Structure 1
Amino acid sequence: MLDNITVFDFETTGLDAQAERVIEMAAIRVVNGEVVTSFSALVQPGKPLEPKITEITGITDTMLVGAMSEDLAFRILRNIIGDSLLVAHNAAFDLQFYHHALQRLAGKSFTNNFIDTMTISRERYAYPHKLTNMCERLGIVLEGAHRALNDVFGCWELLKELHAQESVEPFLNTLGYLQKYPPPAWVPQHARLFGMANRYEN
């Protein structure tokens, strides 16, 4: 199942996938366990960044001067993804941004199968479940978190570790969301969506 996957990540101007924009994207295409393609680009958002976003990502307005256009960036990403299985940590977030960008730029969406490593993490481990937390817990080196390419390689290593523990196949096209919050505003039609609660260590 993991012989043809794309691990991807977006850094964005905010949380609302319809109103906000991607400022950085990264992806690695993995075939038969080997990374065959990697892509990373800063993307023009068409508006100034909020200070909080710069604080989280380290990306500044100056860095985005001359960045890749949204249209070109998503064309490249879509070509890399092809028909592969999509993988992301907190995939509900990234899948929404991917869907709305494709809708805006091409009038279409995507039908790729996907796996969310955060859903698996919440199912198998006690809180916390951020990518940095899970990598630290499992001894995975993650340098420069909240920069897209670093997060992508961290997510790939996390997926391999989770799959080595026990097959991740039951989590195909599965999105868990915290029940104390509303469900995601959009999910793929083929997604199985269910509410979850964090477990805490005694």
Structure 2
Amino acid sequence: MRADSVVILDFETTGLSPDQGDRAIEIGAVRLINGEVKDQFQALMDPGFRVSSFIESYTGISNQMLSQAESCKQVMNEFADYIGDDNLIAHNASFDSRFLNAELMRIGRQTVGNFSCSLLLSRRIFQDADSHKLGELIRYANIPSSGGFHRALYDAQMTSQLWLALLNDIAVRYDLHDLSFAQIQKICKTPKGAIDKLLNKWAQI
């Protein structure tokens, strides 16, 4: 499966750990097919309890907004249908994958596709960036942005543009086009100092 045909997702949550009872409160996702945005998904979801004032301030998602939202169960069933068996991307995927798996487990569902991480890829391809936070990478790659981070759909949209910029950088520097998702996973697991050797090797095949 191609690396530019994926679902890129982002969660806003009540805290940092589903193991500590934190829940998702918003999901945003962008589906890329052959490097083009095909469709998007966005929904608030009611976790069943009030969120802290810090989370309200950080995300702009108020308890009033959540009280009018559908339940996590209903939204996550819709989202599971949306992603199907597609491969998945997130910026700091270890965070989003934990929440995705925890919310799906609650409703007896699971992902089929594989997960990869734009943060890990950026550390290997954009090694000169001062920071690998999403907002800093957007500036580093000169991607137009309105600066509305910490809402799920916007972050997913920006991550999708970053993902394409990373793939384009690989294509330009190494003449490697149409990389597979498995190759991207290999890059993400390769030490930074060995990336040139790996990609030059692939370019010669």
Superposition TM-score, scaled by structure 2 size: 0.79
Counterpart in the other structure of 1:155: 159
Matches of 1:110 and 1:75, distance apart in 2: 11
Q: Structure 1 residue 140 and structure 2 residue 143: aligned?
A: yes
Match of 2:78 among 53, 71, 76: 76
Q: Which has the higher contact order (CA 8 A, sep 6+)?
A: 2
Q: Is the 8 A contact 1:114 1:173 kept in 2?
A: no
1:38-77 matches, cutoff 5 A: 38-77=40-79
Matches of 1:3 and 1:138, distance apart in 2: 18
Runs (5+) with no aligned partner, structure 2: 171-175, 193-205
Closer/same/farther in 2, CA of residues 158 and 3 from structure 1, 3 Å limit: closer
| CA deviation profile, 1:100-159 (whole Å, cap 9, x unmatched) | 1111111x4324112200011222324411110100111112331001111111001000
Counterpart in the other structure of 1:130: 133
Counterpart in the other structure of 2:185: 172
Matched residue of 1:128: which SS?
coil
Query: In terms of Rg, which structure is larger?
Result: 2
Counterpart in the other structure of 1:121: 122
Closer/same/farther in 2, CA of residues 85 and 13 from structure 1, 3 Å limit: same
Q: Is the 8 A contact 1:10 1:22 kept in 2?
A: yes
The structure that is helix-richer by fraction is 2
Matched residue of 1:172: which SS?
helix
RMSD of aligned alpha carbons? 2.2
Q: Is the 8 A contact 1:13 1:53 kept in 2?
A: yes
Matches of 1:49 and 1:4, distance apart in 2: 35
| CA deviation profile, 1:160-184 (whole Å, cap 9, x unmatched) | 0000111675432776xxxxxxxxx
Matched residue of 2:111: which SS?
coil
Q: Is the 8 A contact 2:11 2:96 kept in 1?
A: yes
| CA deviation profile, 1:67-96 (whole Å, cap 9, x unmatched) | 011111111111111111101111110001
The structure that is strand-richer by fraction is 1
Identity %: 34
Q: Is the 8 A contact 1:100 1:109 kept in 2?
A: no
Counterpart in the other structure of 2:202: none
> How far apart are residue 65 of structure 1 and its match?
1.6
Q: Is the 8 A contact 1:113 1:173 kept in 2?
A: no
